[in-house]
A and B are shown apart, each in its own frame.
Chain A
């Protein structure tokens, strides 16, 4: 009986944990998008007034980001300093392939950011960054819509699924 009880508790706990993890991942993506928006804003301002070269821009951007973005931008800077990739897009895709814990949507946005970098004129470069910023804002607004309800749903669903499984199995 005790074993069954322990098993039931473990099933409920793991399912709830999964629900919480889903909610955490969701929140982390919103945080990453927030940080990315800050970075894009900063990049656009820098391009308007200072025109800092891209490797340095990536290094400074890493300081504004969460752990995922920090790792992405630092890897991109390293890739550029190696002088082996033909363009910024290749550097971004190499950095992306070695960055972990990144959602497919954020990955898509970063890929788009990589492709937009390396324009031949500052005006065009700013416009490209603006379009990436719009995409990021759209994605963020989709995620933020009913965010608290969604988070509660993930946690509740996890708990309920755990309870249902426990009832079925025990």
Chain B
């Protein structure tokens, strides 16, 4: 297992670093900071609440450190998150700033969810036989991105071709400055920080990929982007939020990609972070 642990600790207020390091180095999933309430450490074994309450300065500190004291540069704040060095994602809640009917940022921050990004090389070994385009589904926090990252690495080695990754949230291959925290295999090109629709269009034009990987299909735009990439000789690897096959087929947002049989195989993540694969049989 690889994890940029020191970079994770740096995101936390100084008083919180020691208890988090002591209690959660091995199995911490996330730290939740809520204004005026005790800090909560979510471990694999359950949640632990510390005594000290979170102040406004604590929340401001984490956001500032995560964005290198440049919250204005973190355009992802418009979508409610900031990805820090090491790939650790901070989910942000507060009061939305709306301009022209669109969310432009968040002020009066009231809570943060700081997730640990970990890399488990080899977890996708059992998926070696899966053919064609693959959709990974699971509830939040079940390890979809971790599996996707390993699957990309495995495919890059097996495939011996070009795999392009649109890493919108910079979570699949997070960077530390100019370098990747979890270096991708040879043959993997990563386009970070741009939307899936523009990223996929760019990659199709300029990188001649044989496979395109994206994380978290959550909007109709994301589905459109995948439809654009399908049937032009490019295989797809993607993740989506759905606990099981039924939920996936019930969500209207995924209808276009399921109806068009864009994916050949489905990998379903379980809450204990194990997974199994199925053939994608569409019954529309």
Contacts and interface: CB of A to CB of B under 8 A. Distances in A.
Closest 7 CB pairs of A and B: A53-B68, A51-B73, A125-B72, A86-B61, A54-B69, A54-B70, A53-B70
B107 A120 contact: yes
A120 B57 contact: no
B67 A53 contact: yes
Interface residues of A, number: 24
Contact of A119 (B60, B68, B71, B106): B71
B268 interface: no
Contacts, number: 61
A47 B73 CA distance: 8
A47 B69 contact: no
B274 to A, nearest CB: 36
A145 interface: no
A143 B77 CA distance: 41
A86 B54 CA distance: 13
5 contacts: A51-B72, A51-B75, A53-B70, A118-B64, A119-B71
A117 B69 contact: yes
B100 to A, nearest CB: 12
A84 B14 contact: yes
B70 A118 contact: yes
A87 B14 CA distance: 13
A56 B97 CA distance: 27
Contacts of A56: 68
A80 B70 CA distance: 10
A88 B64 contact: yes
Contacts of B77: 120
Contact of A121 (B10, B60, B105): B105
Contacts of B68: 53-56, 80
Interface of B: 10, 14, 57-58, 60-61, 64-65, 67-73, 75, 77, 97, 104-107
Contact of A53 (B10, B73, B97): B73
A88 to B, nearest CB: 5
Given A118-B64, A120-B97, A80 B69 contact: yes
B65 to A, nearest CB: 5
Contact of A86 (B57, B72, B75, B104): B57
Would you call the interface of chain B mostly helix, strand, loop, or mixed?
helix
A118 B67 CA distance: 10
A83 B58 CA distance: 12
A98 to B, nearest CB: 18
Interface string A78-120: 0010011111100100000000000000000000000001111
Determine which residue in B67, B70, B77 has the highest number of CB atoms from chain A within 10 A of its CB, and name it: B70
Nearest to A53: B68
A49 to B, nearest CB: 12
Contacts of A135: none
A51 B70 contact: yes
A97 B126 CA distance: 59
A51 B68 CA distance: 12
Given A87-B64, A121-B104, 16 more contacts: A51-B72, A51-B73, A53-B67, A57-B70, A80-B69, A83-B10, A84-B14, A118-B64, A118-B69, A118-B70, A118-B71, A118-B72, A119-B71, A120-B77, A120-B106, A121-B105
B94 to A, nearest CB: 10
Given A83-B10, A86-B57, A121 B72 contact: yes
Contacts of A86: 57-58, 60-61, 64
A124 interface: yes
B61 A124 contact: no
B69 A119 contact: no
Nearest to A119: B72
Nearest to A125: B72
B178 to A, nearest CB: 12
Nearest to B109: A120
Contacts of B73: 51-54, 122
